[in-house]
């Protein structure tokens, strides 16, 4: 490379061969860097997809269920779904019980401040913060808010930053099958309870009738025994007394039989009534559980669960988002303009 002065302007002479070699080397280096970045990006995406799928599997397999509906508390929607028996999926039932999930991402230069704003918005919407993370580069707020205030809540979250620095995802699932499962549980418990109560009423009526019949028979026997024994006391004839003794023995035997029958009837009745009472208690517990599950189900679908993640962004990153073209091209254009302006002051490059 040689330098000369021509008309007051510096002239730089560069070997054409060396320039070509330098350009080829730069192209090769750029190619290696480019394909290396593509490979790393592909590996990252593959790992991300794998982790996402594994996370989903863990979420589904590790969910905490309370049959047929869980308590509301965790943020993840998979952990909040109700495990109910298979219900009728016929199109004839067109009811909708929509469970809404929400997630959003905010890019900012001040992560702790935005996390604090999100927490205050949740509290101001009568919501509940389930998990909060706050750092210099990343933050996350998991929450639950009532569905009736969700739209205003979402609008406040959106207003925190510019729309280009905010993304959201809203999904809704119809939990009709779970509602049908709860209704089936309630109907089954109600039907069982009605049947058991009828059986108990029938058992009590039958037992009462049987006991009355036995007691009536015992009363008659006792009257006969009193009469016969009085007759024995008032007679001195041997043959008459002997006949009365035989009748007395016969009635005593009948009396013993009826007493044993009464004892057996009472024993069987106590066993049967206790069994029915246990079944009725279980049916009442199932019905109460079903009604409780129905109440929890209503609470569940009337809330929106979700999270907002907050990530730090550099000035260069913001420039790439807000600039209509890539900032690199902006810099190149600026340099070209500056070159044109200061052309006379710049050295002239000549290829040899």
310-322 pLDDT per residue, tens: 999 998 888 888 7
Average pLDDT, integer, range 147-171: 92
Residue 71 DSSP class: P
Taken in order 74, 75, 78, 84, the sign of the CA dihedral is positive
Q: Is 84 helix (H, G, I), strand (E, B) or coil?
A: coil
Average pLDDT, integer, range 28-46: 51
Greater model confidence, 81 or 228: 228
**Confidence (pLDDT) at 270:** 96
Q: Do 306 and 142 touch, CB atoms closer than 8 A?
A: yes
Assess whether pLDDT exceeds 60 at residue 264.
yes
**Confidence (pLDDT) at 11:** 57
CB within 8 Å of 55: residues ≥ 6 apart: none
Average pLDDT, integer, range 280-306: 94
Greater model confidence, 254 or 79: 254
**Confidence (pLDDT) at 235:** 81
Q: How many CB atoms lie within 10 A of CB 169?
A: 10
Q: How many residues does the chain have?
A: 352
CA atoms within 13 A of residue 154's CA, in its CB half-sphere: 18
For 30-44, 79-93, 228-242, which range has the lowest pLDDT when averaged over its residues?
30-44
Pairing of strands 166-174, 98-108: antiparallel
> What is the Cα–Cα distance from 222 to 256, expressed in whole angstroms?
11
Closest C-alpha among 64, 62, 142 to residue 304: 142
Q: How confident is the model at residue 57 (pLDDT cuts 50, 70, 90)?
A: very low
**Confidence (pLDDT) at 352:** 61
* Mean of all residue pLDDT scores within the chain: 79
Q: Give tens-digit pLDDT for 237-252.
A: 888 888 888 998 999 9
> What is the Cα–Cα distance from 2 to 11, expressed in whole angstroms?
8
Greater model confidence, 120 or 317: 120
> What is the Cα–Cα distance from 138 to 238, expressed in whole angstroms?
116
Q: Is 87 exposed, middle or buried (CB count within 10 Å of its CB: 0-12, 13-18, 19+)?
A: middle
Ramachandran angles phi, psi of 134, nearest 5°: -150, 120
Assess whether pLDDT exceeds 70 at residue 10.
no
**Confidence (pLDDT) at 21:** 75
Q: State how far the alpha carbon of 287 is from the alpha carbons of 48, 179, 268, in Å.
A: 46, 15, 28
Assess whether pLDDT exceeds 60 at residue 134.
yes
CB within 8 Å of 146: residues ≥ 6 apart: 125, 126, 127, 302, 303, 304
Q: Is 313 helix (H, G, I), strand (E, B) or coil?
A: coil
Closest C-alpha among 20, 140, 99 to residue 305: 99
Share of the chain above pLDDT 90, in %: 55
**Confidence (pLDDT) at 236:** 77
**Confidence (pLDDT) at 249:** 92
Taken in order 184, 190, 194, 200, the sign of the CA dihedral is positive
Average pLDDT, integer, range 73-98: 59
Assess whether pLDDT exceeds 50 at residue 255.
yes
Assess whether pLDDT exceeds 90 at residue 56.
no
For 43-57, 126-140, 289-303, which range has the lowest pLDDT when averaged over its residues?
43-57
Q: What is the pTM of this model?
A: 0.58
Q: Is 74 helix (H, G, I), strand (E, B) or coil?
A: coil
Q: How confident is the model at residue 49 (pLDDT cuts 50, 70, 90)?
A: very low
Q: Give tens-digit pLDDT for 202-222.
A: 999 999 999 999 999 999 999
Owner of token pair 């007691």: 215
Pairing of strands 98-108, 303-312: parallel
**Confidence (pLDDT) at 72:** 34
């Amino acid at each position: 490379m040689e330098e000369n002065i021509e008309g007051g302007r510096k002239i730089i002479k560069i070997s054409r061969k060396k320039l070509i070699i330098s350009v080829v080397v730069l192209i090769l280096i750029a190619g290696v860097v480019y394909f290396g970045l593509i490979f790393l990006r592909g590996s990252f995406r593959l790992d991300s997809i794998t982790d996402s799928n594994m996370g989903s599997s863990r979420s589904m397999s590790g969910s905490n269920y309370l049959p047929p509906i869980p308590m509301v508390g965790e943020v993840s929607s998979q952990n909040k779904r109700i495990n109910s028996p298979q219900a009728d999926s016929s199109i004839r039932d067109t009811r909708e019980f929509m469970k809404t999930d929400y997630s959003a991402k905010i890019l900012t230069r001040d992560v702790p401040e935005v996390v604090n704003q999100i927490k205050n918005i949740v509290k101001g919407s009568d919501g509940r913060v389930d998990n909060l993370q706050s750092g210099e580069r990343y933050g996350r707020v998991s929450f639950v808010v009532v569905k009736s205030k969700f739209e205003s809540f979402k609008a406040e979250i959106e207003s925190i930053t510019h729309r280009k620095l905010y993304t959201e995802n809203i999904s809704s699932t119809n939990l009709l099958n779970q509602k049908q499962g709860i209704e089936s549980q309630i109907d089954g418990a109600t039907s069982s309870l009605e049947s058991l109560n009828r059986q108990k009423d029938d058992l009590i009526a039958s037992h009462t009738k049987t006991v009355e019949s036995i007691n009536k028979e015992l009363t008659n026997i006792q009257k006969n025994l009193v009469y016969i024994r009085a007759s024995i006391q008032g007679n001195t004839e041997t043959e008459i007394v002997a006949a009365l003794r035989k009748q007395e023995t016969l009635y005593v035997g009948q009396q013993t039989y009826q007493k044993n029958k009464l004892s057996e009837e009472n024993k069987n009745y106590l066993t049967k009534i206790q069994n029915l009472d246990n079944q009725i208690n279980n049916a009442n517990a199932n019905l109460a559980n079903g009604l409780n599950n129905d109440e929890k189900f209503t609470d569940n679908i009337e809330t929106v669960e979700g999270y907002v993640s907050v990530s730090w962004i550099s000035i260069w990153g913001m420039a790439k988002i807000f600039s209509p073209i890539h900032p690199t091209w902006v810099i190149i254009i600026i340099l070209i303009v500056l070159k044109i302006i200061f052309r006379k002051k710049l050295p002239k490059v000549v290829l040899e």
